[in-house]
Amino acid sequence: MSETLDTTELGEKIVNVLKTIYDPEIPVDIYELGLIYDVFVNEDYDVKILMTLTTPNCPVAETLPLEVEEKVKSLNAVKSAEVEITFDPPWTQELMSEEAKLELGML
């Protein structure tokens, strides 16, 4: 018997996976950093993640989106995963969670 998830539950699992991915230059995960703008999950368990980078010429611009895609695809329920990078709106420190700001000594 296979476990069925609703899209909200799967979205929560995806967020938990995103919280395991860290920006290599900042000791905070990409979710708390505010790099994830949105996570879309449809009824077929196709996932689309809208994310940004701290700067357009970020050193991990090539590898970080691939890492996000691969880790999300590793969830059993996910049928496909696509990461779209956007710089609109551009990332700013205001997008960081309170937890991230505390971790970085900004509070």
Which residues have CB under 8 Å from 88's CB, separation 6+?
Answer: none
In the chain, the domains with their CATH numbers are 7-92 (3.30.300.130)
For residue 82, list its beta bridge partners: 48
Question: H/E element holding 29?
Answer: none
Q: What is 57-94 written as a DSSP string?
A: T-TTTTHHHHHHHHHHHTSTT-SEEEEEE--SSPP-GG
pLDDT in tens, 16-27: 999 999 988 888
* C-alpha to C-alpha distances, 5 to 41, 44, 47, 70, 76, nearest whole angstrom: 11, 11, 14, 20, 11
Mean pLDDT score, 1-25: 84
Q: pTM value?
A: 0.90
